[in-house]
């Protein structure tokens, strides 16, 4: 028996050595590169355990991220080390598809390393995001099937005070180094935190899992877990939220910037140029982006003039814009009306998708209302992807707060952007691409993701939607909105526009409700550069489609074009152009 085992072991070793030696140099390089991809993906799950939970990996459900500056700088050093490993891969002998993986990963590392140079991690909180919002969301995607699941959740609750302390320490350093957000933006954070401070722990959103115990739990288990959760909220969550609130109100706000644009930060102009390049995956300068926005807006306004004439409005386009913004008939009467309306629109679009795509995602999507505690400062809508394991759907979140100020004439365009054929269709399909490494399945270029979302709004027109002239005007309003972003974002962050300048420019050119305009402008202030991605990405997709149609003529197949666009995940725009050019050449 021992002898047989020994001989078997020798045989296995021989086979392994033979296999390794039999590999070509190319196969060895590919294997080494993918080993780095896999190791770093695994490290990322461990380093950011709530992201792992979101993606359906529950190995680290009792842990939280280390938010200290020390941990972030360790991340930076690791990225530098990984970049050196990647550079040692022999790029020249890689197959073409693996060259794409190499370049995307290398660029991702290089941009991440450059990001640290600007130290904006010292501004960890804003009205659009931060620990005060992200932590409260954990209950929405955690697993609550066993007693251990609840105990893991409670451990996370008790780890919250350290995260708050680490966040405050970074913010203190930000004040010392003058890397701070605008004061008026931070003022909007206070009510978001205040909404989560309550004397009664059962009123906290954190307590919600205790209202939906599985039927298999005994009464004793329910009582014990309920008490533990109440204690965690009372002793860890509430005092920490109060500590953060007091720090921001008394110590942080006085040290925050009076200016809104990031030009006012140390190295602000360089930082904005970096963001513009990163978000658009182009080398366009802020000046070129501004001018592109102006030309696109002029073109779209001509289309709006046609709608104005179609509905026989007597007056200028500027007057028509104000009329649509102010007439109550263009707004919802309730949140329920909004949710039901979006549901009806998407049911109709679901039936149209096979006319435009050969391949559709298996993962489902659903509708949710944005949580009340953050809705006032939240955008009109957004999308959260499904986890990798498909244990829950992707969600199209809708802002139903102040329904009388939420436009109904833009509902079709919004639904197509956030759900299908927009974000859900594209992101869920990317997750299901088994031939891609994880970093491409679950990430990618913002210009592609948001460009596709805007392109999807236009597909609604081709699918027979926007039958009402006002709904079609809503589509144009959304397209104009993305052109305006190119002007307003560069205006505030590079050309020193004020917040009021940006709001007035939006009001002049968009019929969006003022509450949405203010929320959007403040979003651009908090996330500079991101707003540039939409229009620039959409223009590139439309340019590539037109080029393919012209070259292929009757051989152009729209469904096949869409499949080719989507089959590589969210790639940079220059990579997308190469993919489409190669497809056209193969068809020719």
**What's residue 2's pLDDT?**
42
Residue 19 predicted with pLDDT over 50: no
Which residues pair with residue 397 across a beta bridge?
368, 382
Average pLDDT, rounded, for the chain: 95
Give every strand in the sheet of 394-398, ordered side by side: 365-369, 394-398, 381-384
Tokens of 51: 């992201």
Residue 558 predicted with pLDDT over 80: yes
List, for residues 452-492, the tens digit of each pLDDT value.
Answer: 999 999 999 999 999 999 999 999 999 999 999 999 999 99
**What's residue 450's pLDDT?**
98
Give mean pLDDT, residues 356-370. Answer: 97
Residue with tokens 């605008």: 182
For residue 114, what pLDDT band results from cuts at 50, 70 and 90?
very high
Q: How big is the CA angle at 566 (ends 565 and 567), to the nearest 5 degrees? A: 105
**What's residue 3's pLDDT?**
40
Q: Please tell me the distance from the alpha carbon of residue 148 to that of residue 156, in angstroms, as a whole number.
A: 12
| Cβ-Cβ contacts under 8 Å for 266 (sequence gap 6 or more) | 177, 178, 179
Q: How far apart are the first and last CA of the chain?
A: 64
Q: How many CB atoms lie within 10 A of CB 18?
A: 9
**What's residue 17's pLDDT?**
43
Residue 522 predicted with pLDDT over 60: yes
Of 177, 170, 164, nearest to 72 (Cα)? 170
Q: What is the pTM of this model?
A: 0.93
List, for residues 199-218, the tens digit of each pLDDT value.
Answer: 899 999 999 999 999 999 99
Indicate the DSSP class of residue 381.
E
Residue 135 predicted with pLDDT over 70: yes
**What's residue 120's pLDDT?**
96
Residue with tokens 């679901």: 350
**What's residue 42's pLDDT?**
98
Helical axes 69-87 vs 160-176, angle rounded to 10°: 80
What's the sign of the alpha-carbon dihedral 531, 53, 342, 421? positive
Give exposure, 486-512, as e/b (b: 16+ Cβ within 10 Å). bbbbbbbbbeebebebbbebbbebbbb
Of 369, 383, 378, 458, nearest to 427 (Cα)? 383
| Cβ-Cβ contacts under 8 Å for 7 (sequence gap 6 or more) | none
List, for residues 391-445, the tens digit of each pLDDT value.
Answer: 999 999 999 999 999 999 999 999 999 999 999 999 999 999 999 999 999 999 9
């Amino acid at each position: 028996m021992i002898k047989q085992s020994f001989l078997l072991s020798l045989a296995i070793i021989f086979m392994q050595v033979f296999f390794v030696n039999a590999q070509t140099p190319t196969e060895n390089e590919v294997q080494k590169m993918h080993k780095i991809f896999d190791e770093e993906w695994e490290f990322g799950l461990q380093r950011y355990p709530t992201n792992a939970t979101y993606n359906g990996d529950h190995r680290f459900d009792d842990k939280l991220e280390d938010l200290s500056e020390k941990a972030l700088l360790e991340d930076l050093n690791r990225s530098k080390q990984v970049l050196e490993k990647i550079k040692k891969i022999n790029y020249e002998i890689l197959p073409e598809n693996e060259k794409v993986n190499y370049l995307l990963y290398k660029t991702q590392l290089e941009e991440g390393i450059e990001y640290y140079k600007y130290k904006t991690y010292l501004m960890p909180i804003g009205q659009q995001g931060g620990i005060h919002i992200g932590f409260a969301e954990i209950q929405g995607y955690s697993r609550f099937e066993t007693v251990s699941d609840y105990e893991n959740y409670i451990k996370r609750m008790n780890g919250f005070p350290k995260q708050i302390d680490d966040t405050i320490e970074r913010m203190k350093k930000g004040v010392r180094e003058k890397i701070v957000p605008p004061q008026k933006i931070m003022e909007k954070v206070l009510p978001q935190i205040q909404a989560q401070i309550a004397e009664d722990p059962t009123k906290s959103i954190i307590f919600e899992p205790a209202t939906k115990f599985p039927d298999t739990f005994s009464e004793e288990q329910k009582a014990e877990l309920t008490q533990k959760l109440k204690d965690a909220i009372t002793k860890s969550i509430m005092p920490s939220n109060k500590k953060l609130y007091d720090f921001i109100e008394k110590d942080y706000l006085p040290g925050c910037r009076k200016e809104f644009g990031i030009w006012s930060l140390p190295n602000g102009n360089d930082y904005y140029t970096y963001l513009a390049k990163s978000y658009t995956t182009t080398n366009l300068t802020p000046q070129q982006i501004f001018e592109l926005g102006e030309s696109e807006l002029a073109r779209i306004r001509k289309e709006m003039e046609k709608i104005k004439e179609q509905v026989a409005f007597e007056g200028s386009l500027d007057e028509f814009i104000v009329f649509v913004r102010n007439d109550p008939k263009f707004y919802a009467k309730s949140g329920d009306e909004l949710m039901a309306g979006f549901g009806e629109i998407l049911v109709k679009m679901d039936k149209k998708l096979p006319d435009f795509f050969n391949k559709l995602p298996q993962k489902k999507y659903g509708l949710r209302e944005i949580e009340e505690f953050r809705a006032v400062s939240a955008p009109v809508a957004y999308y959260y992807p499904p986890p990798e394991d498909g244990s829950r759907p992707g969600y199209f979140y809708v802002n139903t707060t102040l329904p009388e100020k939420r436009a109904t004439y833009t509902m079709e365009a919004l639904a197509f952007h956030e759900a299908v054929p927009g974000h859900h269709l594209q992101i869920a399909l990317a997750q299901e691409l088994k031939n891609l490494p994880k970093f491409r399945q679950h990430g990618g270029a913002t210009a592609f993701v948001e460009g596709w979302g805007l392109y999807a709004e236009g597909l609604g027109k081709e699918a027979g939607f926007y039958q009402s002239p006002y709904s079609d005007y809503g589509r144009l309003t959304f397209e104009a909105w993305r052109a305006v972003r190119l002007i307003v974002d560069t205006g505030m962050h590079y050309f020193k526009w004020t917040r009021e300048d940006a709001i007035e420019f939006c009001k002049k050119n968009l019929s969006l409700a003022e509450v949405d305009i203010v929320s959007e402008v403040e979003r651009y202030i908090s996330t500079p550069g991101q707003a540039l991605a939409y229009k620039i990405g959409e223009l590139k997709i439309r340019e590539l489609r037109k080029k393919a149609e012209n070259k292929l003529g009757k051989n152009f197949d729209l469904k096949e074009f869409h499949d080719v666009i989507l089959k590589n995940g969210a790639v940079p725009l220059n990579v997308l152009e190469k993919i489409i050019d190669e497809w056209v050449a193969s068809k020719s």
